[in-house]
A = this chain, B = another copy of it.
Amino acid sequence: MALDGLLTPVPGGVTAAAGFLAGVACCSIKPENLKKPDLALLCSEVPAVAAAVFTTNKIKAAPVKVSAAHLRTADLRAVVLNSGNANACTGLEGIEHAKRMARAVGWNVGLRERQVLVCSTGRIGVPLPIERIEEGVARAAAVLAPGNGKAAARAIMTSDTFPKEHAVRGGTADGRAYTLGGMAKGAGMINPNMATMLCVLTTDAPLEKKDLQRALSVAVEQSFNRITVDGDMSTNDTVILLANGRSGGQPLSPSSRDFEGFQAALNHVTRNLARMIVEDGEGVSRFVEVHVSGAATFQDARKAAEAVANSSLVKCAWHGGDPNWGRIVDAVGYSGAAVREEMIDVYYNGLIAVKAGIGSKTPPSKLAEVVRERKFTVHVHLGLGSAEYAVYTTDLTPEYVRLNKGE
């Protein structure tokens, strides 16, 4: 049984599952990049089905538009990704470039353009160096191999400081093992409802396309949609999941325990990748879980948690190791959630900071000890109901400002 706690971590990342190959190439997409691979190609050797979740930003990058159109293809088995240029706000030329990326993959690995998804990440508003990318696709296709998962995870990094990959092995009730793995990139522009984050997941478990999409939507909701670094949501956010059924057996039935096990594995992998993205937030020195409970409604819990997690003042205080709970209560107050001041309790790692809306007797030095740790939890109990929500976030640092003040 593949319940969450019983999953076995395995190496290999996005190529851990059987039948998936990756290749990378350096296209010097940023002219000053002469050596680092900035293009990754991922393919299934056998027919596969795909699911995807895209940014909800109304301004969508060209690769998002092209991938959304291609997603309907029944046998969808390749993804090409570049870093260094977002191909966003590039007009009709940008659309043509994204299609040319897909077409180049098709030529080189024997697929149609519509069997390929495209992802880009980087600066907005700069035309892609499409000829160099087309040449890069050919080189990446020439080196496709099952062992290149980590190289692909490195190729999609922008300001990330480490490659993000995770894979697990699960199993079905009839004893078949399957593998699920993935890679992601994040860093800046991270916010609930997706971020400048790209994530590609692969599995050799057998699933039907419509069930795969449902499982992915559920997984994204409890992982990537619950992380925030700076409250900015990008034009390029994409999470893709390919399933090629190479582990054998019949498609997992959506109401079965096997499907539940697969969902648990998918939740586990996406949650791990999401945490890695927050931990690698630009210039970050704190990793904070903001947990709101006792809300009247789920939406209230979410609003309150997101207001705290995105408050510049709260995040600055964390950076300074200051348990400034007044700023937390303030953010809860303007979040739009139903709140009653005298019902609010706030805890840092279980130490009570606010009791019934006013400061507790916990010595500030004790609270400061928690906030000086690299990881801690802020728990806000609203005392009005039973809804809860958690979001993962970071502090705000001078380093974040320096990293984002220009190229």
Q: Give A contacts to B, CB under 8 Å.
A: 56-60, 86, 88-91, 94, 123-126, 188-189, 191, 193, 230-235, 310-313, 316-317, 319-322, 324-327, 329-334, 338-339, 341-342, 344, 354, 356-359, 396-398, 400-407
Chain B: which residue is nearest A123 at the CB level? B326
B333 touches A59 (CB 8 A): yes
Among A320, A339, A397, A404, chain B packs the most CB atoms within 10 A around the CB of A404
B404 touches A313 (CB 8 A): yes
Chain B: which residue is nearest A342 at the CB level? B91
A91 touches B358 (CB 8 A): yes
Residue in B56, B311, B316, B326 whose beta carbon sits within 8 Å of that of A124 in the complex:
B326
Q: Chain B's nearest CB lies how many Å from the CB of A384? A: 12
Bound Cα distance A59, B81 (Å): 46
Known: A124-B330, A235-B333, A321-B406. A316 touches B57 (CB 8 A): no
Known: A124-B327, A316-B401, A324-B406. 18 other contacts (CB 8 A): A58-B333, A58-B341, A59-B329, A59-B332, A89-B326, A124-B324, A124-B330, A125-B359, A232-B327, A235-B330, A312-B400, A312-B404, A317-B405, A321-B406, A322-B405, A396-B401, A398-B398, A401-B401
Bound Cα distance A403, B344 (Å): 28
Bound Cα distance A60, B332 (Å): 11
Bound Cα distance A193, B401 (Å): 26
B313 touches A189 (CB 8 A): yes
B125 touches A325 (CB 8 A): yes
Q: Chain B's nearest CB lies how many Å from the CB of A320? A: 3
B359 touches A232 (CB 8 A): no
A-B contact pairs, 7 of them (CB 8 A): A58-B334, A59-B334, A94-B358, A317-B405, A319-B405, A322-B405, A396-B401
A334 touches B125 (CB 8 A): no
B334 touches A56 (CB 8 A): yes
Q: Chain B's nearest CB lies how many Å from the CB of A2? A: 36
Chain B residues with Cβ below 8 Å from A91 are 342, 356-358
Bound Cα distance A321, B407 (Å): 10
